[in-house]
Structure 1
Amino acid sequence: MEFVGRSEDLRVLEEQLRVVVEGRGGTRGRALIITGRRRVGKSRLVQEFCDRSGLPYVVFQATKGRSPAAERRDLAQAIACSALPGRQLVEGLEPADWNHALRSVAVAASEQSPCVVVLDEVPWLVEQDREFEGALQTAWDRHLSSRPILLILVGSDLSVMESLQEYGRPFFGRAARMTVRPLHLGDVAEMTGLSATDAVDALLITGGFPEVVRSWTPGMTRADFLRASLANPLSPLLASGELSMLGEFPAATLARAVLEAIGTGERTFAAIAKRAGVTGPLPSGTLAPIVNNLIAKRVVSVDLPLSTQPDTRNKRYRVADPYLRFWLAFLQRAVAESERGRPDMALRRIERSWTAWRGRAVEPIIRESLARLLPDDAWPETEAIGGWWNRRNNPEIDLVGADREPVAGQIHFVGSIKWLDSQPFDRHDYDALARDATFVPGTTPTTPKVAVSRAGVEPALPLDAIWTPEDLLAAWTSPPAAPRH
């Protein structure tokens, strides 16, 4: 299958390998920790990189719940079956511990010729054997770092992977870190063959998860993709979310209930507690650590109002990636409906709520795109893009551009997002923005007004900048042009 996208990720990996090949690091070897959500394409990316490198490599993937002895034996077998120059030296090896197993990597690697060594699903190795981390540090310091090896450690449990680099942990300070994110808007547009406007819809539905995006036949409309995917219970659109949820958040757990509450639209702590509770709201002492854990795993994001006044009381929570947000809102119920031959029910439910759901779901994508476009010549000091709201969400400002966050020194602009199919941003929208902007701390009557609109803007409105879907796409595909003023 053709590998599409990930050009920036491949560039980063190639640069890490170049440091090893050219001997430019502090040690001959180099270690890299790769994290990212499950099913985001980390293993596929690393395999593609290894294949393109043209160098000997070995890829070992751990198995959850397997005994450490079996894992060590499989690692030795993977090395023996690889193209590493000394692979024959470890044939039939049954390492007694992880020090022995990891030292065998150095035995099979050349002292002169570079190679790549990949350990995938590292959190499972850490979970299975408490001695793994210490053995990894010992093997790296005494054997691996002195050879031209690019050691890549891959894992989906972000909290575990990040803890490997914490001060006081054995591997602290020994590895660079890279996060593999879902495919971005430019990649999705390229793979689906859609216009900028329709590619945004495709990103909201697929979340940029490679397996789901690849199932979108180029040029297929949103309605046709949903119809075909919902009719197939095994389609990547339905199955990927179910597999991710089962792998990370088994049913009938409080974490699952909290995530479902957020995914179905609850944004405040109190509303989440009420929705996730069974006989009553979840106590704060129960909910807070669950939410914090979801944030640590990058499953949930927390937003704060952006203005010149600090405000930590009005946090708003959301599911971090668009696909899981879409799956929780619409597809979780659709799995059973598809299995019993009634995908039409899910399709009607999506179409009935699509416009309202999309209007909220598109906001983080737009803010992230503007954060790539800015600063520019028109807004040379704008380095933070957010929104603003009060406790009652009335008013609520979609866009706030500022010099910094979470507390701005200066507000550079305020703006509105209008993401409707055929209704442009009009005078009514502008008047509402001008009225509501006065509530944002740090604004004045002369604070510039901007708009992002799917269907264009009514002529002659006194806006200081306008961004279109094409501008958002350009943020991911080419040096962006200045917004229209």
Structure 2
Amino acid sequence: MFLGRRTELSLLTKRLDYITRTGRGLSVAIRGRHQVGKSRLAQELCDRSGLPYLYFTAVKGASVIRSTGRFLTELANSHLPTSRMPAPGDTGLDPDGAPRPGLLGGWGDMLRVLAGALPDRPCIVVLDELPWLSEQDETFDGHLQVVWDRLMSNRPVLLLLLGSDLHLMQRLIAYDRPFYGRADNLLLGPLNLAETATVTGLTGSDAIDAHLITGGLPGTLLRWPAGTPADDHLRDQCADPSSPLFTVPEQSLASEFPNPDVARRVLEAVGGDARTFANIASTAGSRAGAISSGTLSPLLRQLTDDKQILTADQPLSTSAGKPALYRVADSNLRLYLSILRDVHTLTQRGRPDAGYSLFKNRWSSWRGRAVEPLIRISLEQAVITGSVPWPEAQAVGGWWNRQFNPEIDLVGADREPIATRIHFCGSLKWLGTPFDNRDLHELHEGARQIPGFDAAHTGLIVVTRSGADLPADAVDVVWGPDDVVAAWQP
């Protein structure tokens, strides 16, 4: 079952059309976190296109000899014509197509063999987990550039380069690397909220709950029984120690942070809701004290800019503001670090009921904060579709001062983090009670402190899970869960 990804499939199909029309090759670097569906997308493209293809997946830690041997075997057994393969003695193949270990060359030779096996008609070559090939051979990027420029780019081939290590995949096409300028860059994110609603068969707040829990990861969503609310699904999952709700984020942590080092402690501190620099330094510190600024600052840059596993939110207004607030970018991993890891421990000890009770005790509070970035990006999406009356609001964030008194949940502006105009501000209430006059009074009082707020021209919006009990025309827009989901509908 293949879900969503219409935009990505369309972009890749257009490249196949170009290759068919011109007879020239194109390459695309597709990066995304573990379990986001990169491999499934590439396989779906291969299947739908009907073109001959090679799909090779690297193995982490494999030797060059073993890896190239697997590559030759997969090439010989692929959909690409084997009649163009060089003679067995030139490639390290026996006459039956099996590799002969004593004659295997390095990755430079293997890429030349691949180029020689390409047919005269359009085809697809997928190299999955490319960073692991670079680990095996530090000259791989250079060989790939030479073979692409001289032998492959003038052939009708779509070369897809896949990788889960976002930093290394970015480095592959960076300006100081050999393959710079040769591959289009496609960042594959999770499924969007509307796709989550379709997969789970849920609507409104139930669909939003499912999206927050799964992070929109396809592999996790496919295990969600259609029409099952979050509470019921979590009760079942708490009885299964091997549930993907536990294993997927656990595997992601193990692959990207195999050692319990300072970076791992920083990530776990943020996942435990340490949001400010000072709180992170204290929480992730050791017996010797808090982490020093000289150590923490570059670590946070690495986790936000390179690994993109953290996000730094800045207060949005017409003036520069502090402090930045950090959060785990993937809501599934964020939930795991905050709640599900403790739930998993109880489940493994044979106490699923206690695990579910723990989840219920922490869930509402966690959800109230975790839903904020989803609402903000949904409002940005609504601006694009014209669903809200502020077409010039290109950025949606929040605002706070150093004392966090007040914190304004929603601020829409023409740009970020320093805007020239504030178009709207608003409040988000995701609890079990309606947004009422008391909440409205707090919004009015807090909004006046936002630099750039103009009571005569700045709009007001309320986003609430349980409706609003307000006088008519008290605010410009009231959004409920169905409106949030509808913002993502095509």
Note the C-alpha offset of 1:353: 1.8
Residue in structure 2 matched with residue 109 of structure 1 by the alignment:
118
CA distance in 1, matches of 2:74, 2:45: 18
CA distance in 2, matches of 1:43, 1:294: 24
Note the C-alpha offset of 1:87: 5.6
Q: Which amino acid is 2:354 matched to?
A: M
Of stretches 153-162 and 208-217 in structure 1, the one that deviates more from structure 2 is 208-217
CA distance in 2, matches of 1:333, 1:353: 11
SS of structure 2 residue aligned to 1:103: helix
Residue in structure 2 matched with residue 62 of structure 1 by the alignment:
58
Q: Which runs of 5+ in 2 are unaligned?
A: 87-96
Q: 1:79·1:87 contact (CA, 8 Å) conserved in 2?
A: no
CA distance in 2, matches of 1:392, 1:22: 60
- Pairing 1:249–2:261 present: no
Note the C-alpha offset of 1:92: 4.2
Residue in structure 2 matched with residue 433 of structure 1 by the alignment:
443
Within the candidate set 210, 214, 237, 2:222 is matched to 214
Query: Equivalent residues in 2 for 1:355-374 (5 A)?
Result: 355-374=364-383
CA distance in 2, matches of 1:233, 1:378: 47
SS of structure 1 residue aligned to 2:340: helix
Measured against aligned partners, the alpha-carbon deviations of 1:251-282 in whole angstroms (never above 9, x if no partner) come to 52211111110001010011001001111111
Residue in structure 2 matched with residue 402 of structure 1 by the alignment:
413
Within the candidate set 44, 50, 62, 2:40 is matched to 44
- State the TM-score, normalizing by the size of structure 2: 0.93
Within the candidate set 400, 404, 407, 1:393 is matched to 404
Within the candidate set 297, 300, 305, 2:315 is matched to 305
- Pairing 1:201–2:212 present: no
Residue in structure 2 matched with residue 354 of structure 1 by the alignment:
363
Q: 2:271·2:328 contact (CA, 8 Å) conserved in 1?
A: yes
Residue in structure 2 matched with residue 121 of structure 1 by the alignment:
129
Of stretches 7-16 and 429-438 in structure 1, the one that deviates more from structure 2 is 7-16
SS of structure 1 residue aligned to 2:374: helix
Q: Which runs of 5+ in 1 are unaligned?
A: 479-485
Note the C-alpha offset of 1:358: 0.6
Of stretches 243-252 and 226-235 in structure 1, the one that deviates more from structure 2 is 243-252
Count of paired positions: 471
CA distance in 2, matches of 1:161, 1:37: 11
Note the C-alpha offset of 1:46: 1.0
CA distance in 2, matches of 1:50, 1:435: 57
CA distance in 1, matches of 2:66, 2:354: 47
Q: 1:36·1:179 contact (CA, 8 Å) conserved in 2?
A: yes
SS of structure 1 residue aligned to 2:55: strand
Note the C-alpha offset of 1:95: 4.2
CA distance in 1, matches of 2:177, 2:259: 33
Note the C-alpha offset of 1:289: 2.0
Note the C-alpha offset of 1:459: 3.9
SS of structure 2 residue aligned to 1:408: coil
Within the candidate set 225, 229, 232, 1:224 is matched to 232
CA distance in 1, matches of 2:77, 2:399: 57
CA distance in 1, matches of 2:309, 2:42: 22
Residue in structure 1 matched with residue 144 of structure 2 by the alignment:
136
Measured against aligned partners, the alpha-carbon deviations of 1:333-383 in whole angstroms (never above 9, x if no partner) come to 222211111122221122112111111000000011111111537212111
CA distance in 2, matches of 1:452, 1:19: 44
- Pairing 1:188–2:206 present: no
Measured against aligned partners, the alpha-carbon deviations of 1:405-429 in whole angstroms (never above 9, x if no partner) come to 12101001110001123x1211111
Change (3 A) 1:336 1:355: closer
Residue in structure 1 matched with residue 294 of structure 2 by the alignment:
285
SS of structure 1 residue aligned to 2:487: helix
Q: Which amino acid is 2:335 matched to?
A: F
Q: 1:80·1:87 contact (CA, 8 Å) conserved in 2?
A: no
Within the candidate set 448, 461, 469, 2:481 is matched to 469
Note the C-alpha offset of 1:434: 0.3
Residue in structure 2 matched with residue 483 of structure 1 by the alignment:
none
- Pairing 1:265–2:264 present: no
CA distance in 2, matches of 1:67, 1:105: 19
CA distance in 1, matches of 2:36, 2:83: 31
Residue in structure 2 matched with residue 20 of structure 1 by the alignment:
19
Q: 1:230·1:238 contact (CA, 8 Å) conserved in 2?
A: no
- Pairing 1:275–2:283 present: yes
What is the RMSD computed on CA atoms of the aligned residues? 1.4
Q: Which amino acid is 1:50 matched to?
A: C
- Pairing 1:29–2:29 present: no
Note the C-alpha offset of 1:396: 0.4
Q: 2:38·2:188 contact (CA, 8 Å) conserved in 1?
A: yes
SS of structure 2 residue aligned to 1:477: coil
Note the C-alpha offset of 1:86: 3.4
Q: 2:343·2:359 contact (CA, 8 Å) conserved in 1?
A: no
CA distance in 2, matches of 1:82, 1:36: 26
CA distance in 2, matches of 1:87, 1:72: 20
SS of structure 2 residue aligned to 1:439: coil
Residue in structure 2 matched with residue 448 of structure 1 by the alignment:
459
CA distance in 1, matches of 2:462, 2:20: 48
Measured against aligned partners, the alpha-carbon deviations of 1:8-45 in whole angstroms (never above 9, x if no partner) come to 2222221222221222xxx8000000000112111111
